[in-house]
Structure 1
Amino acid sequence: MNTGNDVIISAALTGAVTPKDINEHIPLTPEEIAADAYQCWQRGAAIVHLHMRDDRGLGTMDRDKFAHTIRLLRGHHDCDVIINCTTSGDSRASDAQRMAHVAGLDGIEMASWDAGSFNWMPGGVFINSPQFLGQLGEILTERAIKPEIEIFDSGMLGITDYFAGQGKLSSPLHYQFCLGVPGGMPATVENLLYLVAHIPADATWSAFGVGRHHLPILFAALALGGHVRVGLEDNVYFSKGIKATNAQLVERAAQAVRLSGKQVATSAQARAMLGIPALRR
């Protein structure tokens, strides 16, 4: 648990599904994603969580798009934001395609490790087989990429324990509690309390609630000593009927951190807390 006053803000910029028809501020191209990432870092995001979109606006695991976005973002020489890439951005992708970027690209410091499969209602099954998770864990460990262990339901804690016990995940672990996804654990403070109470004592954790649950889970995470995630991947509105931008969501999270008597962690501080090596350019 985070016993200090420094809070890591992670910005999840686009996701794999939500179209611009719903919110025109959702970034889709590498240029838009990199620009949003830079603006979010300027406003306090220590980490940016990256998905890619194809030319039709659908989620893709295109290795070249990840590479192009990372190059554009690192082109801002003042920006030391932690780059965290998804491994589940396209339900059509093979296991190999889901891992190609983390296996071969430089510049990725964190990557999602979704700790199990479940029925993502009503669209279909979100598949993360034991074989995939084991191989992904090995790649991330070998390349010193920090796994962001995404937990959608309580049973996934046991799956994480299994792979940590097998040496596929390196301690201390970092958890991202993803609450309010249809088919997953509801976004309640009670559920967040349960999850926090059942992770290793040396672990760090962050949390978010989908949609209208965004603010209650953000405030609960701050109260419980955790870190927070915001962004248009999870919530497209700033308030009822008012569309958000990623930068606005990060700025409000930073204000909430300060109002709670804590401090917004810089990317360098976040690396130290998470055990990520210092940025090398």
Structure 2
Amino acid sequence: MSNSKQKVIITAALTGAVTPRGYQIPETPEQIAEDAYACWKAGAAVVHLHMRDDNGFGAMDAKKFKKTIELIRAHEDCDVIINCTSSGAAHPTDEERMQHFKEIDEIEMGSYDAGTFNWMPNVVFMNSPQFLEQLGQLYIDRGIKPEIEIFDSGMLGITEFYVKKGKLPSPCHYQFVLGVPGGMPATVENLLYLKNHIPEGSTWSAFGVGAGHLPIMFATLALGGNIRVGLEDNVVYGKDAEGNKIMATNVMLVERAVKAVKLYGKQVATPAEAREILGIREK
């Protein structure tokens, strides 16, 4: 592979569990798989998957994960990296959060939310020490690359604790999640702090929620990171000449990220290059 420092991995987070219906969010396995394929064709090396139930709410449904992944892989030319959430419903049990990772061999990456915090205004996002230890060991056993979600700076210390305990493989891949109510605001100052406090040799990516989307994307490019886009985090593309909101699609957001990477003078990583950068063995 050519100079990896010139390669930028684009992740497309297609659905999420929190954003309500009414936008252009894919919900069924068929819709999610088709969006995944379209985003891969547009330049995404990774697709981050959530499932929704029949009423449009987030669901940790192993059968739907399996069906969605099968539909993606039915496109024989599609080598996109499959990244699945471990936290995609309102009140799942620890076992429900891990079941799809135990059953589905094709999952290459999984989210690892490195701590509990108050997701304001009325939700406690639970990630107990016991769950994090079990999830980290499961990822090691299954050969799944953890994507360590950092919502606040203290989660860096939690991650280091489990690395030292042998419950997380290293070097780690960090995802800085900025702008969630109750977490760190989506500022360049906070992004720089997090980037400067991860171990040498780590890889990292970042995104800002909502209005923080573009500032964090551009700052991430300037700081040498990878970027995540998608309707899980941001449903507005911009405004038209009259000041009206332009609602986004996942493909629109990926295409803009590709253009930003190229304008910055870097190259968009292919899935094969992303696997090499992240240390993932293709399944």
Alignment TM-score, normalising by the size of structure 1: 0.97
Instruction: Verify: 1:247 aligned to 2:251, yes or no.
Output: yes
Question: Any idea what SS the aligned residue of 1:48 has?
Answer: strand
Which residue matches 1:131? 130
Unaligned segments of structure 1, at least 5 residues: none
Which residue matches 1:110? 109
**Residues 45-56 of structure 1 mapped to structure 2, 5 A cutoff:** 45-56=44-55
User: What is the CA distance between 1:3 and its match in structure 2?
Assistant: 6.5
The runs of 4+ residues in structure 1 deviating greater than 2 Å are: none
Which residue matches 1:30? 29
The letter for the 1-side match of 2:255 is E
Which residue matches 2:280? 276
Q: Is the 8 A contact 2:8 2:261 kept in 1?
A: yes
Q: For the residues of structure 2 that align with 1:237 and 1:108, how far apart are their CA atoms?
A: 29
Which residue matches 1:152? 151
Q: Is the 8 A contact 2:17 2:51 kept in 1?
A: yes
**CA deviation vs aligned residue, 1:120-167 (integer Å, no higher than 9, x gap):** 011310000000000000000011100000000000000000000000
Q: For the residues of structure 2 that align with 1:221 and 1:103, how far apart are their CA atoms?
A: 33
Q: Is the 8 A contact 1:8 1:227 kept in 2?
A: yes
Q: Is the 8 A contact 2:4 2:277 kept in 1?
A: no
Which residue matches 2:74? 75
Question: Any idea what SS the aligned residue of 1:176 has?
Answer: strand
**Residues 1-281 of structure 1 mapped to structure 2, 5 A cutoff:** 4-21=5-22, 23=23, 25-240=24-239, 241-277=245-281, 279-280=282-283
Count of aligned pairs between the two proteins = 276
Question: Any idea what SS the aligned residue of 1:208 has?
Answer: strand
Question: Any idea what SS the aligned residue of 2:115 has?
Answer: coil
Which residue matches 2:242? none
User: What is the CA distance between 1:20 and its match in structure 2?
Assistant: 2.6
**CA deviation vs aligned residue, 1:176-198 (integer Å, no higher than 9, x gap):** 00000000000000000000000
The letter for the 2-side match of 1:15 is G
Q: For the residues of structure 1 that align with 2:122 and 2:76, how far apart are their CA atoms?
A: 41
Question: Any idea what SS the aligned residue of 1:148 has?
Answer: strand
Q: Is the 8 A contact 1:13 1:232 kept in 2?
A: yes
User: What is the CA distance between 1:18 and its match in structure 2?
Assistant: 1.5
Identity %: 67
Backbone CA RMSD of aligned residues:
1.0
**CA deviation vs aligned residue, 1:67-89 (integer Å, no higher than 9, x gap):** 00000000000000000000000
**CA deviation vs aligned residue, 1:9-52 (integer Å, no higher than 9, x gap):** 0000010022232x1x1000000000000000001000000000
Question: Any idea what SS the aligned residue of 1:183 has?
Answer: coil
Q: For the residues of structure 1 that align with 2:30 and 2:151, how far apart are their CA atoms?
A: 30
TM-aligned CA distance change 1:3 to 1:266, over 3 Å: closer
Question: Any idea what SS the aligned residue of 2:147 has?
Answer: strand
User: What is the CA distance between 1:91 and its match in structure 2?
Assistant: 2.4
Q: Is the 8 A contact 1:91 1:126 kept in 2?
A: no
Q: For the residues of structure 2 that align with 1:84 and 1:3, how far apart are their CA atoms?
A: 21
Alignment TM-score, normalising by the size of structure 2: 0.96
The letter for the 1-side match of 2:252 is Q
Q: For the residues of structure 2 that align with 1:3 and 1:48, how far apart are their CA atoms?
A: 20
The letter for the 1-side match of 2:143 is A
Q: Is the 8 A contact 2:179 2:212 kept in 1?
A: yes
